[in-house]
């Protein structure tokens, strides 16, 4: 059987990598004595799949994983047993049956809460910069990957940016961005682009609030 898990990555573990998250989840499942299903071959691994990795330093309330087991288990039993053995900072928020659900590879959008400081720029200046980003067909940034730099256009993956709260030079933004493995846009990329208009803009905190599949004009949650 296959179960789908919604996982929180809290502040205590925001600096660990996706690989470390996977290892922590695997160790916790072994401690909980859950009957994992393993791959075949020389080095068997638990049969697990995840949504795209988030950048180190970001927290999340919407990491999703599919995990296969060799026998039937109730989602509630897995929820209780695994939450008991997970390390501080990682928690299951929900567990459900993955059968009949769209694959995690179908997830294509995410919503983030992004806290920034403007270095003295006003709310009006920030909203003007956001308007320029949203209306531009090209928003180019330099993306670094495996020691190489590449200029990419992230405009097609920016769907919405809103200023939800403002206090002095501190702002809370909500961003809806592309979250596909082949075309992922992060809030850090968007803030980099906004710095063209507000050079002093800096990120304080980023949290992923939700991931979903956008298709035919509607949002479909993974779980």
Cα–Cα dist 171/117, whole Å: 6
Residue 214 has pLDDT above 80, yes or no: yes
> What would the mean pLDDT of 39-67 be, rounded to a whole number?
91
pLDDT tens-digit series, residues 163-184: 999 998 899 999 999 998 777 8
pLDDT tens-digit series, residues 6-38: 999 999 999 999 899 999 999 999 999 999 999
Domains in the chain: ranges and CATH: 2-101 (3.30.70.580), 106-220 (3.30.70.3190)
Output phi, psi for 142, to 5 deg.
Answer: -95, 115
- What is the model's pLDDT at position 42? 83
> What would the mean pLDDT of 122-139 be, rounded to a whole number?
95
Band the pLDDT of 100: cuts 50, 70, 90.
Answer: confident
Cα–Cα dist 123/135, whole Å: 18
- What is the model's pLDDT at position 203? 96
Residue 134 has pLDDT above 80, yes or no: yes
> What would the mean pLDDT of 68-97 be, rounded to a whole number?
95
Q: Taking the model in full, what pTM does it have?
A: 0.92
pLDDT tens-digit series, residues 108-122: 999 999 999 998 889
Tell me the Ramachandran region of residue 119: left when phi exceeds 0, alpha when psi lies from -120 to 50, beta otherwise: left
Cα–Cα dist 183/140, whole Å: 14
CB-based contacts of 25, cutoff 8 Å, min separation 6 = 7, 48, 65, 86, 90
Decide which of 143 and 209 is more confident.
209
- What is the model's pLDDT at position 147? 74
Q: Quote the DSSP letter at residue 36.
A: B
């Amino acid at each position: 059987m296959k179960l789908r898990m919604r996982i929180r990555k809290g502040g205590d573990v925001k600096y660990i990598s996706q690989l470390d998250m996977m290892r922590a989840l695997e160790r916790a499942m072994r401690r909980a004595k859950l009957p994992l299903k393993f791959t075949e071959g020389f080095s068997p691994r638990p049969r697990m799949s995840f949504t795209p990795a988030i950048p180190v330093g970001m927290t999340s309330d919407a990491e999703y994983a599919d995990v296969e087991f060799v026998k039937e288990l109730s989602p509630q039993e897995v929820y209780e047993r695994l939450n008991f053995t997970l390390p501080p900072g990682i928690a299951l928020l929900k567990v459900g049956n993955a059968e009949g659900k769209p694959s995690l590879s179908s997830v294509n959008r995410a919503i983030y809460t992004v806290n920034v400081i403007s270095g003295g720029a006003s709310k009006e200046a920030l909203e003007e910069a956001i308007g320029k980003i949203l209306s531009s067909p090209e928003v180019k940034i330099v993306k670094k990957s495996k020691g190489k730099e590449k200029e990419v256009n992230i405009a097609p993956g920016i769907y919405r940016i809103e200023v939800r709260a403002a206090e002095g030079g501190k702002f809370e933004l909500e961003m809806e961005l592309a979250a596909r493995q082949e075309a992922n846009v992060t809030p850090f990329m968007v803030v980099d682009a906004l710095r063209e208009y507000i050079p002093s803009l800096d990120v304080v905190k980023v949290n992923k609030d939700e991931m979903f599949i956008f298709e035919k004009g509607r949002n479909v949650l993974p779980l």
